[in-house]
Structure 1
């Protein structure tokens, strides 16, 4: 948002909390709106006021409109992805490339372009939870960070900050000590974790009442991630799509999924998930693949 003064940041974070908004989703949609205003796609007439980078008061005002679903806030309250769809209808301009989202979920501050942050290049593109920075895809799947590890942390109710890779074995000892369950790391990595992840993948591909994801299109990063970083110590660095696509194929294969990321029959049998076969059939019919 172009706001770098500590007092301004603290004020907006506090206001976000007071309004009951998500700091990540709200911050993303504020930045989305700010860029559309800068580019002249959203105007003062749309906003009801000037929206300038670095202006704490104007972003705080927009936050209130979002919380109350008033004016432009009615659209932005839907989040960056759905707001982009609505603004396209209203303005006749495709603004999806300005919405930094994955599978409809806004991505937070953890990007993949610099190579200095923890998410790998397929972190969001292959995640069953889209833009969720706490559940990123990675290779090998049993590494940290990865969705198998995130799934274990969430299931065991262990904070990810306290379970870094070198302390991972300690997490299993804690689980056994607290619950008495004799689940091993190998059992989780080879059966229980992939079972959970495969169920999530099938649910994702089934879609919802009004949104469906085509893995050939949507298992990819936001277009912004393929643009070079404009500034900072890693200025000019970007991710190459061919690298992402290669990693995506490897990730699918490592979990027993086909070229579209659809779990194979042999994988369902191995994991005891044969009951998902009708759902797989529906997914393939919708995607028109065999």
Structure 2
């Protein structure tokens, strides 16, 4: 039956826990994880609620394929109203925690209220306890996981927790599991921190319940794994180089946001690329990259495990950072590096380790530093205010501010607000490279037009994983489209958004879609889940999920004006590369996108659309 059909509801104010049956009617319409958890959230909270108030709720959710033998079936999502944006937040994570939650017999955990003092939630199958976490408050993610595994006397427990940034209310604080896998964006960690919730500790021994058709499921998942293995991206590129395979590719096409999007190519990209991670260092003859790593059930293994240079200034006196740990992904290498003009790969790895250790989003952090460096070069911010000279290219400023943000000290408290609030505070809101308050990922909207529309319309603020048109516009998957034209992009973005909503709700990783179409996931769902899971149903479901999120944002106060890009991307043309002379054509694309979506001119789903989707 794929689902466990059970929800755990936890009220931290009353310190009560109870089991509830899963609403199977909703599961039939919204599947699981992102779709189903969002349905629960929007049904239970006021869209105008303060994200950091006890009235907001936060949900850990698995999908029907989480914990199964489907490739990449280890995903879970954290869904809440996000403090960085004030919009719907859904952050997706891999590792092993999601599968463990499913093995314990739960489809999702809904957290309500606020504890009067720090607590953590212990889940061992049906045995659920709210326990004191006073001794964990003030600990990093790494310290918290180590302490809890020791206290539970079980190295197999899985921990999903916040670091000091979540406690301090850094608006892009993450929730981290397995030391370096993260529900990373939109500030879900700050919501957990506002509830005095330090961690969820899970041990599950029940396995996954009876699938609808186990023999067919084994057959079809085996066939689909072969497709992943034989594909150039999922079988070769990602296992060998991880997402960092994109660094030189995106730089060469002139779509690499550099120095707070002032430029579209970074002259230091080669020094911080996947290839550089493989090269032996002069200091010790060893490469930064140790090996790749997969999450639960993953046959791709794009994760990076790296070791920092022990002679580097950041760690020369800090042996705790000398061991192998989570290495640079493309987004982090971009945001900590290109966005700030920093080409010191060891400094980037150190900052990345701090993001993992204390649980904060490297994309929002790095992009916020880009704004800080531009304000510094303009003379708006000074050395005295920041605590260090901070021009573009300064690795020392980057690592100093990463330390300050992790600890909640000095100027790090301002950095923890994110670029939107920081730039507003210093009188230059136009310098925040964000949508709805969430910072851009690693693709310039002038060089890849579809990504501009993706950012502008993303329900959780600027995001590449809601509609990864790079697949089509750069990699030619499933068909090649011209990255420099706006023509056809509204339809492309809508198709990607709807399909991704289904993938995110299934329990599978979106990286499978470099090789799989939704038609490859459909038979896996059909064999796992009872009932009809036709392509027509899944297409409609993706659209339904997208419009449900949109309705929530509209009710929260978002309007047409929030589906926009910063002036820089619309008025300052790319100076070099294949996109030279281009600006984003976002204003041309939005009306066509709204029409395709069945929305009015203000971006609200029409009554006809709402009725058609059963919302």
Alpha-carbon separation, structure 2, partners of 1:17 and 1:56: 18
Does structure 1 residue 108 correspond to structure 2 residue 458? no
**Is the contact between residue 229 and residue 236 of structure 1 (CA under 8 Å) also seen in structure 2?**
yes
1:105-149 residue CA offsets vs partner (Å, 9 max, x unmatched)? 11111222113x8x44411112222202111396326865x2111
Displacement, 1:72? 2.0
Provide the rounded CA distance (Å) in 2 between the counterparts of 1:236 and 1:142: 23
Give 1:180 deviation, angstroms: 4.1
Q: Greater CA deviation, 70-79 or 158-167? A: 158-167
Q: CA offsets per residue over residues 208-240 of structure 1, 9 Å max, x none?
A: xxxx4331x221112222221234453433223
Task: Choose 35-44 or 169-178, whichever is displaced more.
Answer: 169-178
The RMSD of aligned alpha carbons is: 2.3
1:225 is matched with 569
Match of 1:126 in 2: 457
Query: Deviation at 1:28?
Result: 0.8
Maintained 8 Å contact 2:547/2:605: yes
**Mapped contact 2:490–2:590 kept (Cα < 8 A):** no
Paired position in structure 2 for 1:40: 379
Q: Taking structure 2 as the reference length, what is the TM-score of the superposition?
A: 0.39
Instruction: Please say if residues 139 and 251 of structure 1, whose CA atoms lie closer than 8 Å, have aligned partners that are also in contact.
Output: yes
- Aligned equivalents of 2:377, 2:498: Cα separation in 1: 40
Q: 2:511 aligns with which of 149, 161, 172?
A: 161
User: Does the CA-based 8 Å contact 2:374-2:391 persist in structure 1?
Assistant: no
Question: SS where residue 201 of structure 1 aligns?
Answer: helix
Larger helix proportion, structure 1 or 2? 1
Greater radius of gyration (CA): 2
Deviations 1:44-76 (A, max 9, x none): 121122112222222111112222332222222
Distance change >3 Å, CA 80–CA 181, structure 1 → 2: farther
Deviation at 1:82, TM superposition (A): 1.9
Does structure 1 residue 174 correspond to structure 2 residue 524?
yes
1:4 maps to: 343
Q: Distance in 1 between matches of 2:610 and 2:454?
A: 24
The whole-number CA distance in structure 1 between the counterparts of 2:418 and 2:352 is 17
State which of 220, 230, 234 in structure 1 corresponds to 2:579. 234
Q: What is the CA distance between 1:267 and its match in structure 2?
A: 1.6
When residues 73 and 120 of structure 1 are mapped into structure 2, their CA distance, relative to the original with a 3 A threshold, is closer
Whole-angstrom CA distance in 1 between matches of 2:386 and 2:348:
22
Aligned to 2:498: 148
Alignment match, 2:592 = 250
1:214 maps to which of 552, 559, 562 = 559
Structure 2 match to 1:286? none
Normalised by the length of structure 1, the TM-score is 0.80
Q: Secondary structure at the match of 2:424?
A: helix
Larger mean Cα displacement after TM superposition, 177-186 or 54-63: 177-186
Residue 430 of structure 2 is aligned to residue 97 of structure 1: yes
Counterpart for residue 295 of structure 2: none
Instruction: Give distance in 1, aligned partners of 2:437 and 2:366.
Output: 15
Distance 1:181 1:51, change over 3 A: farther
Alignment-derived partner of residue 420 in structure 2:
81
Q: Which has the higher strand share?
A: 2
Using the alignment, how far apart are the partners of 1:233 and 1:218 within structure 2?
29
Aligned residues of 1:141 and 1:254 also touching (Cα < 8 A): no
Secondary structure, in 3 states, of the residue corresponding to 2:554?
A: helix
Question: Structure 1 residue 260 and structure 2 residue 591: aligned?
Answer: no
